[in-house]
Structure 1
Amino acid sequence: MERFVTIRPKSKLISKYVSYYYFHDSDEMDFKKNFLFYPHFKHGFTVYQEPEGIRTLFTMNYDQQMTVELKGVFHKIGVAFNPLGINQFISKPISELYDPVKRSFSHWNPDIIPELKEVFQIADLHQKSQLLDQIFERRFNLNPKLVILEQALNLIFESFGTIQVDELSEQIGVSRKTLLRHFRKHLCCSIEEYKKVVKFRTSIQAASSMGAKNLTEISLYSLYYDQSDFTNRFKELTGQNPSAFFASIRQMGEEDIFWKFDE
């Protein structure tokens, strides 16, 4: 049987930086599924328990649809970090630690591996979640240098990704060059890439939580320039027009996880 459950952190400290955990597993030997996941401003730390041991992946995905293949019996834990969340648990800029090609993030290895093994040994999902809280509490390392980026992200989210870079730098009081450098250093993307994925995810949120099924309503709520802009941006990020995309995705758990499964 396949199981997928999302649980939010109970720790007040960790809940500021981790949006939710998800637990995905199957005990079916003949299990086989392929799915696509899409760009997000949240960053994912994924842990697999395999016969060879623990395998971890880290994903910062602003512009691609990525394919995952699941076969046979598997046990998987996902950690969804809020914007700049991962940055509060490391001692160096994320750009120095993350390999986007291999999706590797070795900063915590190997010391985190024995702790993750303990999580997999626990049956109760809420106890698993609490142990994950404790793992991240031990690694918490508040970075006060991220204030500029925090201000920038707040303005981007408030505008649904429509604010211009010049206006952004003016409101924060730093140069455009400084702002661009901070995005590359701590978020591994450009400002325009980030704005684009915020608007994309705003559209998905409108379609799912607000019950807005009309594409015109969704595009207006998400502040796309016009219907053509709405369609073009979706094709760019998903390979589909908005109508086909919304018809094909499936929400997993109770959070903002939307995957497309191969039928």
Structure 2
Amino acid sequence: MRIFETLKPKNNIIQKYVSYYYLDIADDLNYFNQYTCYPHFNNTISLYKNHVVDFLKEHSVISFKKDADPVQIFTPLREKILKVTQNGPVHKIGIVFNPLGINQFLREDINISKIISSPSLSFFDNDFILQLFGENNLDKITSLLDNRLLDNFVNFDNAYLLKAISLLHGIDHEFNIDELAESKLGISRKHLNRLFKKYIGTNPQKYRTIVRFRQLMDYKLKPIHQSNYTSLSHQVHYTDQSHFIKACKQLTNLTPSQFFKEGKIVGSEDTFWNFMR
């Protein structure tokens, strides 16, 4: 059995902060899978039922172990490609947060820019994780996640960051970072950099680069958009097609044509992975 399903939160509050959940199940004892996750401005909590994890440089190796406790992994905003290897049966639930989304539910201090896993991370308790994996109904899994996140809701609020993120995601106007900080927010660039680094995990310049890349990628992947790279590049404020090609190579190590040819959409959301086997 092989299942990959993306699920949208039902609760109105959770919908503001969580983009989607996903369920990844493979019950073959000899299952082996490798894929590449590309740079993204979101971050995730991944839950595994009975697994152990090894973190290598830009590479996470997840291995099934029958008697192991559940594993939970925080993956921050990705500035570089991340390779993931899955060995043995997979029982995984992912939570994909919108920008600043995870900050609404953190009840412990973590380094928002580093991958971290249990036991250092305890976003959920093990009994709840096992309850999730004991449930076969997708609507019930969604409701359980919605309700537990509501229980953990702390309502993080920072007006500077919220406005900065809104402006950086907008496609109607383009701002340099100095203008964004001083003219639009009324703070120094240094202060804005500190806020981004502390609560998002990167600086606003890098964040904008990733946003531009994902916006063009989303346009390209939608069937209704058949524009060429030059037209699409201008829509998301690349100066020209060569600017986008350069950015794509820096972020993915691939040209745009290679990137869109080798990657694959999984589920019904923005999960776009390159499967290596």
Calculate the TM-score normalised by the size of structure 2.
0.87
1:206 and 2:201 are equivalent in the alignment: no
Match of residue 162 from structure 2 = 150
Q: Tell me: CA distance 1:40–1:10, structure 2 relative to 1, closer, same or farther (3 Å).
A: same
Give the Cα–Cα distance (whole angstroms) in 1 for the partners of residues 242 and 84 of structure 2: 30
Give the Cα–Cα distance (whole angstroms) in 2 for the partners of residues 2 and 149 of structure 1: 40
Kindly report the root-mean-square deviation, in angstroms, between the aligned alpha carbons of the 2 structures: 2.0
Is the 2:106–2:123 Cα contact (8 Å) retained in structure 1? no
Give the Cα–Cα distance (whole angstroms) in 1 for the partners of residues 124 and 74 of structure 2: 16
1:11 and 2:24 are equivalent in the alignment: no
Deviation at 1:217, TM superposition (A): 2.8
Is the 1:3–1:23 Cα contact (8 Å) retained in structure 2? yes
2:92 maps to a residue whose letter is K
Give the Cα–Cα distance (whole angstroms) in 2 for the partners of residues 16 and 241 of structure 1: 33
Give the Cα–Cα distance (whole angstroms) in 2 for the partners of residues 228 and 14 of structure 1: 39
**Structure 1 stretch 209-218 or stretch 54-63: which is displaced more?**
209-218
Aligned length: 259
Deviation at 1:23, TM superposition (A): 0.2
Match of residue 203 from structure 2 = 190
Q: Tell me: CA distance 1:59–1:148, structure 2 relative to 1, closer, same or farther (3 Å).
A: same
Match of residue 227 from structure 1 = 241
1:118 and 2:112 are equivalent in the alignment: no
Give the Cα–Cα distance (whole angstroms) in 1 for the partners of residues 267 and 173 of structure 2: 26
Runs of 5+ unmatched residues, structure 2: 51-65
Q: Which SS does the other structure have where 2:233 is aligned?
A: helix
Give the Cα–Cα distance (whole angstroms) in 2 for the partners of residues 76 and 240 of structure 1: 28
Is the 1:160–1:198 Cα contact (8 Å) retained in structure 2? no
CA deviations 1:96-122 (Å, max 9, x no partner) are 503755433767627522211111111
Deviation at 1:208, TM superposition (A): 1.1
Match of residue 25 from structure 1 = 25
Higher helix share goes to which structure?
A: 1
Give the Cα–Cα distance (whole angstroms) in 1 for the partners of residues 124 and 31 of structure 2: 32
Deviation at 1:167, TM superposition (A): 1.3
Q: Tell me: CA distance 1:184–1:19, structure 2 relative to 1, closer, same or farther (3 Å).
A: same
Q: Which SS does the other structure have where 2:70 is aligned?
A: strand
1:97 and 2:113 are equivalent in the alignment: no
Q: Tell me: CA distance 1:186–1:85, structure 2 relative to 1, closer, same or farther (3 Å).
A: same
Match of residue 38 from structure 2 = 38
Q: Tell me: CA distance 1:125–1:198, structure 2 relative to 1, closer, same or farther (3 Å).
A: same
CA deviations 1:131-162 (Å, max 9, x no partner) are 01111010000123x11100000010114894
1:65 and 2:81 are equivalent in the alignment: yes
**Structure 1 stretch 155-164 or stretch 203-212: which is displaced more?**
155-164
Is the 2:43–2:98 Cα contact (8 Å) retained in structure 1? yes
CA deviations 1:44-73 (Å, max 9, x no partner) are 110111130110111113311111112221
Give the Cα–Cα distance (whole angstroms) in 1 for the partners of residues 166 and 69 of structure 2: 39
1:251 and 2:256 are equivalent in the alignment: no
1:128 and 2:141 are equivalent in the alignment: yes
Calculate the TM-score normalised by the size of structure 1.
0.92
Is the 2:178–2:189 Cα contact (8 Å) retained in structure 1? yes
1:165 and 2:188 are equivalent in the alignment: no
